[in-house]
């Protein structure tokens, strides 16, 4: 008996250590290898050399990634917010709610590459948006929409029912309650959800590479121009064996950006915890 218990403990502890260790391995691997490459010049220069990317920097890719993430999270947030509000506060039929949930779940299940195909066929070709930041941003918005919607819905469902009843019994209409009570109350959580989702959008390469990403493009001038993005740049650098050092550098920058977003998302919760004590 003792022996089984002991091996069970060993198993659980070892697997936990392994999972936690993985992150440090990933971070350490990229950070150590990227040390020699990272410089202000690498960050701020355009890709150069022949083939393109073997020298120079990644500035347009950084800007492109940030812009497309911004567009994606804007559209996705608007859509997700209203869907969540509708399904929690306004929808009276259980069946419609179930259908909404099931559909959102299905959107969450669509693989990113198929979303990329959709973006390419519908947004780029049918709507004639062309290979552009806007098309990519919209495609990414569809990708992160379920992520945001599910979390918003959970947040709203956990609202204190008494609060809602009190404001309803004061004769305040529901939209006023939502705008003036719920949004200020949850502003921190909402922000942190959006930040997390934008980290997710920033790392996605598959949808972007079909809808507007280029190997070499200048810093985008408008939202209708093609752009460079970090994940795709990394993929091309390593996939075509252009430059291993620059690939490490790009991976490093991408990872730092995503980690930063993750940290930012954690800040409001940490602050909230301190406030409670």
90 binds another protein (CB under 8 A): no
Stretch that binds another protein, among 11-19, 48-56, 157-165, 184-192 (CB under 8 A): 11-19
Q: With respect to another protein, which residue has the nearer C-beta, 71 or 197?
A: 197
The number of C-alpha atoms within 13 Å of 112 and in the hemisphere containing its C-beta is 18
With residue 47 as reference, give the H or E element that holds it.
Answer: strand 47-48
Residue 8 interacts with another protein (CB under 8 A): yes or no: yes
Q: DSSP letters of 162-199?
A: HHHHHHHHTT--HHHHIIIIIHHHHHHHHHHHHHHHHH
46 close to 58: Cβ distance less than 8 angstroms: no
Q: Is residue 13 a contact residue for another protein (CB under 8 A)?
A: yes
3-state helix, strand, coil in the chain (%, to 5): 75, 0, 20
Total residues contacting another protein by CB under 8 A comes to 61
Task: Spell out the residues 6+ positions from residue 79 whose beta carbon is closer than 8 angstroms to its own.
Answer: 141, 145, 149
Segment near another protein (CB under 8 A); pick from 1-9, 55-63, 82-90, 163-171: 1-9
Q: Is 202 in the site for another protein (CB under 8 A)?
A: yes
CB 231 within 8 A of CB 204: yes
Q: Minimum Å distance from CB 109 to another protein?
A: 3
Judged by the rule CB under 8 A, the positions of this chain that interact with another protein are: 1, 4-6, 8-9, 11-16, 18-20, 22-23, 26, 29-30, 101-102, 105-106, 108-114, 116-117, 120-121, 125, 196, 199-200, 202-206, 209-210, 231-232, 234-235, 238-239, 247, 251, 254-255, 258-259, 261-262, 266
């Amino acid at each position: 008996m003792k022996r089984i218990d002991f091996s069970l403990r060993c198993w659980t502890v070892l697997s936990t250590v392994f999972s936690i260790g993985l992150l440090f391995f990933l971070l350490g691997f990229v950070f150590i290898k990227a040390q020699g490459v990272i410089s202000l010049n690498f960050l701020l220069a355009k890709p150069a050399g022949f083939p393109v990317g073997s020298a120079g920097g990644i500035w347009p890719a950084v800007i492109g990634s940030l812009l497309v993430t911004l567009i994606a999270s804007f559209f996705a947030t608007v859509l997700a917010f209203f869907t969540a509000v509708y399904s929690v506060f306004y929808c009276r039929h259980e069946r419609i709610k179930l259908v909404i949930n099931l559909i959102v779940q299905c959107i969450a299940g669509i693989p990113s590459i198929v979303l990329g195909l959709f973006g390419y066929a519908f947004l780029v070709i049918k709507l004639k948006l062309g290979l552009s930041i806007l098309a990519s941003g919209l495609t990414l918005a569809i990708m992160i929409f379920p992520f945001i919607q599910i979390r918003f819905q959970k947040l709203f469902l956990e609202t204190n029912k008494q609060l809602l009843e009190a404001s309803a019994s004061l004769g305040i209409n529901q939209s006023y309650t939502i705008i003036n009570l719920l949004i200020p109350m949850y502003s921190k959580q909402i922000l942190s959800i959006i930040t997390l989702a934008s980290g997710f959008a920033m790392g996605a390469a598959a949808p972007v590479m079909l809808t507007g990403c280029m190997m070499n493009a200048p810093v985008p001038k408008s939202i209708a121009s093609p752009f460079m993005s970090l994940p795709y740049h990394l993929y091309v650098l390593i996939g075509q064996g252009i430059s291993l050092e620059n690939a490490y550098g790009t991976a490093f920058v991408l990872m730092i950006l995503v980690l930063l977003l993750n940290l930012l998302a954690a800040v409001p919760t940490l602050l909230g915890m301190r406030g409670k004590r």
